[in-house]
A and B are shown apart, each in its own frame.
Chain A
Amino acid sequence: MQEILKMGIVLTVVCVISAGALSSVYNVTKNKIDENVRVSDIKKRQEVLPSAVNFVEKEIKNKKLWSGIDKDGKEIGVVIKVSPRGYAGPINTTIGINKDDTISSVAITKLDQTETPGLGVKITHDSFKNQFKGEKGEELKLKKDGGAIDAITAATISSRAVANGVKEGWDWYMKEVRGQESRVRSQGEKHE
């Protein structure tokens, strides 16, 4: 009986100390983790639309987008985010689109993906991401699929995931953002 009581007390004490330690570590690190994500999001938006000085958050059909405003207060493009399915997990891709509907730039950091080290992870390299600059429409596909993007050697799945993700994001932008704009404009013209 005494033995069982001792066991119970020891287990309880160990559990309580462990839970207490973890909850305090969690509280300290959580702010830092959230802060890291926030800072990195801002940095990625700046990276894909470098000449914008301010970003205005909007929401269309439950999907967030940011319109980039330059120093003269003019809208120079939008930033959207997509998460296509890669080889090992989702690839969180930030896409900047210029006013002329071409891709301004694509941002994927090492933290946005879980692709194979040394292989799929090369989607985060500039040599891959820069291929998207200035492209639009059907060009946003791998060369194998009839587009303009070179796949990374031995990492076709990851490359294709990014290309198709960017294409999908671009299609959404054309339909929901540009489509709406032109509809509003044509309605406005009718009124006049």
Chain B
Amino acid sequence: MIDNQMTWYMIVLSALLVNNIVLIRFLALCSFFGVSNRIEVSLSMGMAVVFVLTIASAASWIIWYFLLVPLNIEYLRTASFILVIATLVQLVEMYIKKTAPALYNALGIYLPLITTNCAVLGIAILIIDYRLGFLNSIIYSISVAGGYTLSIILFAGLRERIEMAPIPEALKGAPIIFITAGIMSLAFLGFAHLFGL
């Protein structure tokens, strides 16, 4: 659990390792399994998620505290957050395409995928549920996305090896990938209790 009493490095450690978003919290699994077949691709996806998740959290935080709460329309939370995220992803995509074509070529195809990446909406909701302040929300979002990038890169490394391993017919492809993720999750579970987090 994260709250405002925690120091910033505790938030970072918790989000990065102890409560790793993919392996412990089960968010963003689609893209985790979808694009983790090569290390470079995973790195690009990770960067795109860091970028979008941070901006989306900041925008959601502002909308919640300056629009939904003052107007007493908290029940529009899910609807307004997902619309903001979808719009934001479009804007970011258009902006990068114009200003940084090289970056666009690297991230381009992953950006639209991020709209349905449940990590983005999930974290936007969590920072509200945890009642985090603005700065802590930003720190938390960056660390969560960092945790995503870390696990997806490590996992891509494992997958490149698995491709060459002799595996029973029925387990080839998706099944062995899930089981590998399970073992990796077991390893990350070892971080539980670290500093009492």
Contact = CB atoms under 8 A, between A and B. Distances in A.
**Would A and B touch once assembled, by the CB under 8 A criterion?**
yes
A79 B66 CA distance: 37
12 contacts: A18-B79, A19-B73, A22-B79, A25-B75, A26-B75, A85-B1, A86-B1, A87-B1, A89-B1, A90-B1, A157-B192, A157-B196
Interface in B54-92: 73, 75-76, 79
B193 interface: yes
Interface of B: 1, 3, 73, 75-76, 79, 192-193, 196
A23 interface: yes
Nearest to B130: A89
B3 A157 contact: no
Contacts of B79: 18, 22
Nearest to A88: B1
Contacts, number: 21
Given A22-B75, A23-B75, A85-B1, 12 more contacts: A18-B79, A19-B73, A19-B76, A22-B76, A23-B73, A26-B75, A86-B1, A89-B1, A156-B193, A157-B192, A157-B193, A157-B196
Interface in A86-119: 86-90
B76 to A, nearest CB: 6
Nearest to B18: A87
Interface in A67-92: 85-90
Contacts of A88: 1
Contacts of A26: 75
A116 to B, nearest CB: 10
A1 B58 CA distance: 34
Contacts of B193: 156-157
Secondary structure at chain B's binding surface: helix, strand, loop or mixed?
Answer: loop
A142 to B, nearest CB: 13
Contacts of B196: 157
A156 B194 CA distance: 12
Contact of A85 (B3, B73, B75, B192): B3
Interface string A22-36: 110110000000000
Contacts of A87: 1
Nearest to A156: B193
A39 B10 CA distance: 37
Nearest to B19: A88
Contacts of B76: 19, 22
A156 B75 CA distance: 36
A85 B75 CA distance: 27
Contacts of B75: 22-23, 25-26
Contacts of A90: 1
Nearest to A29: B75
A90 B2 CA distance: 10
